[in-house]
Structure 1
Amino acid sequence: MCSSCSLHHRRRDLNDRGRAMAPGQYSMDAKQHTMSPVVTGATVIGMKYKDGVILAADTLASYGNEARYKDVCRLKKIGDHTLLGAGGEISDFQYLGDLLDEMADEEACDARSVLVPAPPFPLQDQAPHLMYVDHQGTAFEEDFVATGFGMHLGIPLLRNNWKPDMSLDEAKALATKCLEVCFYRDCKAYCKIQIGVCAGAGVEIGPPTPINHFWGHTAWTENRLEDGDSTGTW
């Protein structure tokens, strides 16, 4: 095989296996997609209630499996009538929040004159909407959603207890219960949560609030294996 053919096949093999091209040519792929999350957030609970939508999340950002940052807000206000919550890589959430802020500014300035800006992201048919978008871009609308471990532990509670005509206090209590259950069983959950409310009056994100937890349950403290009982517990 001639040297030119050998070089051609070698380049093609490199492109097929690793796309080893000029430095920086494919660098945007690494910046746009977080393949190995480092600092992550856990469960976010979202649900509609009779007057709007609420989102709830704990304030922990884990560095791997280490509970590293314990005062991180994973809820963000976008415009006057949009509330964003995110689990997973925190840097992706921050980047997405910046992009949405830019979009809100552009919409406000482009819809009308600069002197009289229009409200960004107006309400659709004046009704609350709760949307879920996964890491692959799949989007859908639902009455209640959850991310992370909450998809396994929170969704069953929401299915059994959610009602379309729930009051705000009932919705907050249910969201808190879901995060409490996740805290008991998810090593990346935390005992301090924030609840955001998006309603006709606007968006409000509450302060970090501790949740009640109790670790003295008999099933968690007694060692049953010594009595010949092979039943496992938490």
Structure 2
Amino acid sequence: MLNNYNSMAQPLWQNGPTPGAFYNFTGGQQQTQKLPKELTAAGPFGTKRSTSSITTGSSVLGIRYDGGVMIAADTLVSYGSLARYQNILRVFPINNNIILGGGGDFADIQSIKRTIDQKMIEDQCYADGITMKPKALSSWLTRVLYNRRSRMNPLYIDVVVGGIEQDGTPYLANVDLRGRAYEDYVVATGFARHLALPLVRERKPKDREFTAEEASELIRKCMEVLYYRDTRNMAQYTVGVCNASGTTIDGPCKVSENWTFAATIKGY
């Protein structure tokens, strides 16, 4: 009987909340212990930043033709060597004049996309009838990415910007994580720089631009080569098209796979 009395005298719930109070999940009624300042303060060289990409998208290919631009990217985002996310769009419409393709760390691609979207909203709030053009966006991105690089906290991205300028001429450029940019009739990121650029350049007519049909066929061929040769690519891809009619995202498209040649590969 005495033992039962002693047990009833003890609180039924040690460290439990008092009636009407919030429960402290980290330690009941005890205050959360704070880490020593020396463990949370910046080191002698500043706050440590991420030094590598985690979830990454591979190649992006852009081709300029006589009436606009096309940008293609597969829908795979890899976690290291794991094909983790297989239905992710990496080609985005920015407005009726601009499309953007992103390679590199996908979290950083999402971050810069949100920043661009906010800038588009700010431009709309002026209500002055002026919309951003692709060359202006490309120049703005060089400043943003160079600023992040100079603060030793870069965005690990490699983007392709394309669209139609004020006078109706197509524009295509590449901007990398250090803010470097160049303009050409074909630009690429990742392994497409090594595998796709030569295929496009050897088919470029000397006296004219590509037609829309030629550009579309080159996109299809290059994405097929990238699927076979780049281990971070997959068979599904999307194509962004920007011309005088506006911007559209076509797809997902599928590479026509043919692995019959695999039996002839020896020595591996």
Contact 1:193–1:209 under 8 Å retained in 2:
yes
Compare CA radii of gyration and give the structure with the larger one.
2
Residue 182 of structure 1: CA displacement? 1.1
In 2, are the aligned partners of 1:59 and 1:70 still within 8 Å (CA)? yes
Instruction: Give the aligned residue type for 1:131.
Output: A
Contact conserved, 1:80 with 1:119, CA < 8 A, in 2? no
Aligned partner of 1:229 in structure 2 is: none
1:184 aligns with 2:195: no
Structure 2 equivalent of residue 157 of structure 1: 199
Deviation at 1:158, TM superposition (A): 1.0
- Correspondent of 1:64 among 80, 98, 104: 80
Structure 2 letter corresponding to 1:124 = Q
Aligned partner of 1:37 in structure 2 is 53
Give the Cα–Cα distance (whole angstroms) in 2 for the partners of residues 61 and 178 of structure 1.
19
Q: Report the Cα distance in structure 1 between the residues aligned to 2:241 and 2:256, rounded to whole angstroms.
A: 21
The separation in 2 between residues aligned to 1:43 and 1:176, in whole angstroms, is 14
Amino acid at match of 1:79: N
Aligned in 2, Cα 1:222/1:201: closer, same or farther, shift over 3 Å?
A: closer
- 1:227 maps to which residue? none
Partner of 2:131: 120
Q: Find the counterpart in structure 2 of residue 214 from structure 1.
A: 258
Which residue matches 1:53? 69
TM-score scaled by length of structure 1: 0.77
Q: Using the alignment, how far apart are the partners of 2:51 and 2:178 within structure 1?
A: 12
**For structure 1, which runs of at least 5 residues remain unmatched after alignment?**
1-13, 20-25, 113-117, 225-231
Counterpart selection for 1:87 from 79, 85, 103: 103
Give yes or no for the alignment of 1:132 onto 2:174: yes
What is the Cα deviation at residue 108 of structure 1? 2.2
Give the RMSD, CA atoms, in angstroms. Answer: 1.8
Question: Cα offset for 1:223?
Answer: 6.2
Does residue 1:167 correspond to 2:183, yes or no?
no
Could you tell me how far apart the structure 2 residues matched to 1:189 and 1:107 are? 36
Residue identity in the other structure for 1:121: M
Separation of aligned partners in 2, 1:121 and 1:223: 50
Say which SS state the counterpart of residue 208 (structure 1) adopts: strand
1:78 match: secondary structure: strand
TM-superposed CA distance for 1:173, in Å, is 1.1
Flag the 1:223–1:179 CA change in 2: closer, same or farther, 3 A.
Answer: closer
- Separation (CA, whole Å) in 2 of partners of 1:55 and 1:223: 32
Q: Of 103, 109, 120, which aligns to 2:125? A: 109
Q: Distance in 1 between matches of 2:74 and 2:215?
A: 16
**How far is 1:152 from its partner?**
0.5
Equivalent-residue separation in structure 2 for 1:176 and 1:209 (angstroms): 9
1:28-73 residue CA offsets vs partner (Å, 9 max, x unmatched): xx3xxx5211111111110101100000111111111111111000
Q: Is the 8 A contact 1:43 1:179 kept in 2?
A: no
Deviation (angstroms), 1:176: 1.4
Shift of the alpha carbon at 1:125?
2.7
Partner residue of 1:146 out of 148, 167, 188? 188
More helix by share: 1
The number of equivalent residue pairs is 193
Q: Which runs of 4+ in 1 moved over 6 A?
A: none
Contact conserved, 1:79 with 1:101, CA < 8 A, in 2? no
Is 1:100–2:142 an aligned residue pair? no
Shift of 1:104: 1.3
Where do 5+ consecutive residues of structure 2 fail to align? 1-42, 134-164
Distance 1:49 1:131 in 2: 13
